[in-house]
Amino acid sequence: MKKSNVVFTCFLASLLTVRSQSSTSGQKAKRETTNEEFTCPEGQGNGNFADPASCKRFYQCVDNYPYVNRCPSGLYFDDISKLCTFKSEARCGPIPITPAPSTEPPVDLATKCETSTCQLPYCFCSRDGTRIPGDLDPEETPQIILLTFDGAINLNNFEHYKRVFTGVRKNPNGCPIRGTFFISHEYCDYNMVQQLAHEGHEIGTETISLQQGLQDKGYEEWVGEMIGMREILRHFANISRNDVVGMRAPFLKPGRNAQYAVLEDFGYIYDSSISVPPFKVPIWPYTLDHKIPHECKAGTCPTKSFQGVWEVPLNAHYVESYEGGHCPYLDQCVLHNHDPQEVFEWLKEDFERYYKQNRAPYMMPFHTNWFQLKELEQGLHKFIDWARSLPNVWFVTITQALTWMTEPKAYKDINNYLPWKCEKENYPPPACNLPNKCPLSFKPPDANISAIRYLTTCRECPNKYPWIGDSEGTGIAGRDVYTPEN
């Protein structure tokens, strides 16, 4: 018998049963006697259900009353597909029901922006995300540029980054320009990280492993990855926990509400993981007290309110002609066939959408691969020097930008603005002249064999390669226990 005939036979048997019920003028049809009483599953409505006593029978529940049915000769009831089929294909029941993943969009439990109750310095929002803090006029608003870098710091990129932040490049107040680095663990040189922090750059966390699919993991997985990474920075780069207040999710895939609960519980000030579509007017950072004021491209943004936690979104980079495409990371736009002048012109046009409109912070996110092509690197240097020549342009860290947003001041008052000064005295000590280079055996979770990872630090070499659950490399798996209190 063909499978299509099998399905039709099963459907016809069900249909005849329902018709039989209708013909009794409201009186229920007589059940066939079985060894056990059958009760329709509560809350599952009408439908077909396996007979616990026999794979050749099934029950059709109508208005919570079970009617017994027999599969045609030689066929058996499949409790997954809910029809009669051949014995070799039938999955005899009852089979426990596992709820299917919801295909509906998540319920947004946060409310829309209410500017009357969302007041600085603790809360900031606007209906479309384009409002300037303090309702300043664009001409009075300092144009902030945020240079951000993702991943491990090592010999592949450290000298390139030093050239970007050469000492001759200053902000209008005479302080060196600065950037923000979101650090991941593997292949990272913590002596170099310590040097960047010593020079006043901001250090944030990405994650330890950069694992795929972290956005679908729970609270404990995010704690292990984020707080573990912060502890690695504390131990091997001498950076205080209190100075690591921002993070970025791997691959710009936020971890739904779980990630943001970790941010809230463990004292982070901001996240910078959410990318924004190519809007004509850029989006300002906002707190997560209210609903996100734009589309969530990743589909894994938080849906609850996280009061006082800032989101610093990644506006899409693009030019009017869309030459090069649009991208959250600049190295994802296709500029590889351009010479340095054309790269500069592309960046200039992209930047002017901010500078000539609402002066939202112009974030420039990079991976190492931007600096592997000299045309891109040279074009970036041209852009930085041109932007510094403009009135009222500042290259600051993300935390410095958010500090200004909590108490916005017009550009005429910025030169003496204390949080943007460079007299801070509690930077980490400078990097070591002769750091320890520790060769450590490491078996990645998805590998069959061990390999050597070199960990460079001013501290003593650990016993094992630091990893999730053992941030200090003690060799005691699962040693770390993180709680918001400590």
pLDDT of residue 86: 67
Report yes or no: 268 and 245 within 8 Å, Cβ to Cβ: yes
Nearest to residue 259, comparing CAs of 273, 241, 279, 275?
273
Domains plus CATH for the chain? 3-86 (2.170.140), 133-420 (3.20.20.370)
Q: Give dist(CA 459, CA 484) in Å, integer.
A: 26
276-312: string of b/e by CB count within 10 Å (b at 16+)? Answer: beebeebbbbbbbbbbbbbebbbebbbbebbeebbbb
What's the pLDDT band for 107 if we cut at 50, 70, 90?
Answer: low
Q: Which residue has the higher pLDDT, 419 or 33?
A: 419
pLDDT-wise least confident of 100-109, 114-123, 137-146, 244-253: 100-109
pLDDT at 26 exceeding the cut of 50: no
Q: Give the pLDDT score at 445.
A: 80
Q: Which of 374, 407, 404, 377 is nearest to 392 (CA)?
A: 404
Which of 4-18, 86-100, 369-383 bottoms out in mean pLDDT, i.e. has the lowest?
Answer: 4-18
Q: What distance in Å separates the CA atoms of residue 331 and residue 335, rounded to the nearest whole number?
A: 8
pLDDT of residue 21: 38
Work out the pLDDT band at 135, boundaries 50, 70, 90. very high
Q: How far apart are CA 204 and CA 181, in angstroms?
A: 6
pLDDT at residue 415 in the model: 86
> Which letter does DSSP use for residue 226 in this model?
I
Using one digit for the tens of pLDDT, what is the confidence trace for 308-334?
A: 999 999 999 999 998 889 999 999 998
- Interatomic CA distance for residues 359 and 365, integer angstroms: 17
Ramachandran assignment for 193, one of left (phi > 0), alpha (psi -120 to 50 degrees), beta (any other): alpha
Nearest residue to 312 via CA among 352, 241, 360, 250: 360
Report the distance separating Cα 184 and Cα 239, nearest Å.
Answer: 15
Residue 8 has pLDDT above 80, yes or no: no
**pLDDT averaged over every residue in the chain:** 87
Distance CA 90, CA 74 (A): 11
Q: Which residue has the higher pLDDT, 77 or 73?
A: 77
Number of Cβ within 10 Å of residue 227's Cβ equals 25
CB distance 406 to 286 below 8 Å: no
Q: Which two tokens stand for residue 422?
A: 């460079």
Residue 423 pLDDT > 90: no
